[in-house]
Amino acid sequence: MASMSQSPVSVIEFATPFVVFLGDITAETYAKTGVGLIQWRPGECVGQMRLSSSTFDAGVPDVTAAAARAAGARSLIIGSAAVGGVVPAGWVPALCEAARAGLDIVAGMHGRLAALPGLAEAAAEGGARLIDVRVPPPGLPVGTGRKRTGRRVLTVGTDCACGKKYTALQLTADLNRAGVDATFRATGQTGIMIAGRGVPIDAVVSDFVTGAAEVLSPDAPAHHWDVIEGQGGLFHPGYLQVTVGLLVGSQPDAFVVCHDPLRTHIMSWPDFALPGVADVIERTVLIGRLTNPGIRCVGVSLNTSKIPAGERARLLARYAEESGVPCVDPLIDGTGAIVAEIRRRFSS
């Protein structure tokens, strides 16, 4: 198999500093692209653009397009990850204004920026570029199922927007700090923007999803770990097909289950109850054994940001006891306990 540098993996470059455009998003879960970029590339963000005071506040200064440009911003990144992946019509005038001001427009939506009414003309007027991140690279193969060298750990979730990307990023950093050679492999628009490269797995034609996952994480040295950003959820009625293809193609030796303990139903699918962590572990092992019979769970990642401080320790301990693996909140505790579990189970 070709090396990473030769494989058809998208390389995404956009000019910085940038401003995050949040439009009229009111829920944090749908602002995850903007929030993720602010969190993981903080020194490059000059502020946020919101269409009203009721729009979700990402905690950075509000700016206009002109003010962002004056502050040195070179790109506007659409911070939405809404269902369907389209830019609402009500956002287009503000995007055109930003493009005329000379800001490159960057989006990770399924729809193409050039198709938005008047945006291509506004970009030409302002000398701005239109950059679509959610475009699969050409030449993706059908999956082979062939066992690859190196080690892999995949983040899986009980739902969407429950910490898979954040867990993978933190786990990569903590593995490297522990002296383990590890690489973050991005599979979603935000992860690709943070890492600068990857494959937007949910934009790949279904027949090539497993092949795309194989290309994303090619043969590697025996003790190298690829930390693969998960997508969707195996119990998700809308997005499980992406999750299955990524799981089978990734061939993970290990996986971490990501979970929001306060969520009761699949986000935006109120007729579907959220699965339990144990259910996700069981189904992940069942499907993952197709291409890696040795697959095993090495940790649980919880989002405890809304849990009272006095209850956090008990909650983490309960999930650890029930699952039999370490349980952490990666943004509060780090993933050191999961790193230790990986080293313990895969020391040979």
Q: Tell which wins on pLDDT, 8 or 87.
A: 87
Q: Residues of CATH 3.40.50.720 domain(s) within the chain?
A: 10-132
What's the average model confidence in pLDDT over 238-244?
96
Q: Quickly list DSSP for 283-316.
A: HHHHHHTTT-TT-EEEEEEE--TTS-HHHHHHHH
* 74, 79, 81, 82 alpha-carbon torsion, rounded to 10°: -120
Q: Which helix (H) or strand (E) holds 18?
A: strand 18-23
What's the Cα-to-Cα distance from 16 to each of 8, 165, 274, rounded to whole Å? 25, 22, 39
pLDDT (0 to 100) of residue 338: 98
State how far the Cα of 67 lies from the Cα of 101, in Å rounded to an integer: 10
What's the Cα-to-Cα distance from 172 to each of 106, 165, 194, 224, 304, rounded to whole Å? 26, 11, 13, 11, 20
**Are the C-beta atoms of residues 154 and 247 closer than 8 Å to each other?**
yes
Work out whether the CA dihedral 105, 109, 112, 115 comes out positive or negative.
negative
Q: Which helix (H) or strand (E) holds 166?
A: helix 164-177
State how far the Cα of 283 lies from the Cα of 297, in Å rounded to an integer: 11
State how far the Cα of 112 lies from the Cα of 105, in Å rounded to an integer: 11
CATH fold of 151-345: Rossmann fold (3.40.50)
pLDDT tens for residues 213-223? 999 999 999 99
**84 φψ region: left (φ > 0), alpha (ψ -120 to 50), beta (else):** left
What's the Cα-to-Cα distance from 116 to each of 47, 133, 164, rounded to whole Å? 24, 16, 31
Please name which of 319, 224, 243 lies closest in space to residue 278, comparing C-alpha atoms: 319
What's the average model confidence in pLDDT over 241-268?
97
pLDDT tens for residues 322-334? 999 999 999 999 9
State the pairing for strand pair 225-228/130-132: unpaired
Which pLDDT band holds residue 115 (cuts at 50, 70, 90)? very high
Q: 39 CB contacts (<8 Å, ≥6 apart)? A: 166
State the pairing for strand pair 254-259/151-157: parallel
Please name which of 127, 104, 119, 123 lies closest in space to residue 12, comparing C-alpha atoms: 104
The tokens describing 217, both together, are 């994480």
Comparing 3-7, 176-180, 208-212, 309-313, which segment has the lowest mean pLDDT?
3-7
pLDDT (0 to 100) of residue 3: 37
**Are the C-beta atoms of residues 201 and 246 closer than 8 Å to each other?**
yes
Record the pTM. Answer: 0.86
Is the confidence at residue 5, as pLDDT, over 50? no
Question: Is 3.40.1110.10 the CATH classification of the domain at 10-132?
Answer: no
pLDDT tens for residues 273-327? 999 999 999 999 999 999 999 999 999 999 999 999 999 999 999 999 999 999 9
Q: Residues of CATH 3.40.50.300 domain(s) within the chain?
A: 151-345
